[in-house]
Amino acid sequence: NAGVMQNPRHLVRRRGQEARLRCSPMKGHSHVYWYRQLPEEGLKFMVYLQKENIIDESGMPKERFSAEFPKEGPSILRIQQVVRGDSAAYFCASSPPADPGELFFGEGSRLTVL
Amino acid sequence: AQSVSQHNHHVILSEAASLELGCNYSYGGTVNLFWYVQYPGQHLQLLLKYFSGDPLVKGIKGFEAEFIKSKFSFNLRKPSVQWSDTAEYFCAVNRATDSWGKLQFGAGTQVVVTP
């Protein structure tokens, strides 16, 4: 059973460009979570999604950030008009329906904004 | 502000030494507690979790943690570490009032075990 797959692993963008990060959950997992890790800090929750639904977006910045988990395909975290402060590691996690509290993490996508 | 605090940012110890990593949280009410580990170059993995019941929880690779409600603590222990335990360790808390999977993480403790 393949783990949580994230791509790209590394992404470089210039200020003002868009960044799209993708996450394929583990097989059979229907819950997806996005976390952000800034340098020297712990992971910060951003959003929790189930297929076609945003369940909890209390950690998402109000502007420029959006997330989706369509019926088919990976979950996407989209950052519009990136700024230097968006440089971070973005981690995706998934969990099975029967045990939504146990998270399985991907290896992360590292975004660098020049 | 409500938070999760890990007492040490870096710990260096020799093989066979005992390890204890502190974790305190400041939330009132019911919580679920976790320790995650990230080995070099790998993804975060769950070491152990506490939801309810026996406050002494045993996890993988010989790790255990004790929940002390009165102290808002969930310290991680291993009696005798190995070189392969070199990793970063994260404590995390899920408040029962939050959605599943919404974890508050500590800043992590980098543990280096020397041969």
Question: B interface mutation test: which of A5, A50, A105 has the most B CBs within 10 A?
Answer: A105
Number of domains in chain B: 1
Does residue A21 contact residue A111 with C-beta atoms inside 8 Å? Answer: yes
In chain A, residues with a C-beta closer than 8 Å to the C-beta of B102 are 33, 45, 48, 56, 58-59
The structure tokens 């229907």 sit at: A30
**pLDDT value, residue A99:** 74
Share of chain B above pLDDT 70, in %: 98
Q: How confident is the model at residue B29 (pLDDT cuts 50, 70, 90)?
A: confident
Q: Tell me how far apart the terminal alpha carbons of chain B are, to the nearest angstrom.
A: 40
Half-sphere exposure of B21 (CA within 13 A, CB side): 33
Location of structure tokens 């008009």: A81
Q: Which amino acid is at B36?
A: Y
pLDDT over 70 (residue B2): no
Domain limits for position B41: 3-114
% of chain B at pLDDT higher than 90: 83
Degrees, nearest 5: CA angle B38-B108-B71: 125
Residue A52 has pLDDT above 70, yes or no: yes
Q: Which of B88, B114, B110, B99 is nearest to B36 (CA)?
A: B88
User: What residues in A contact B45, CB-CB < 8 Å?
Assistant: 105
Q: Are A94 and A104 in contact (CB under 8 A)?
A: yes
Residue of chain B nearest A104, judged by CA positions: B45
pLDDT digits (tens, 9 = 90+) for A7-21: 999 999 999 999 999
CB contact under 8 A, A44 and B107: no
CA distance B113 to B57: 23
CATH classification of the domain holding B88? 2.60.40.10
Give me the pLDDT at residue B1, please: 55
| Contacts of residue B9, Cβ cutoff 8 Å, sequence gap at least 6 | B107, B108, B109, B110
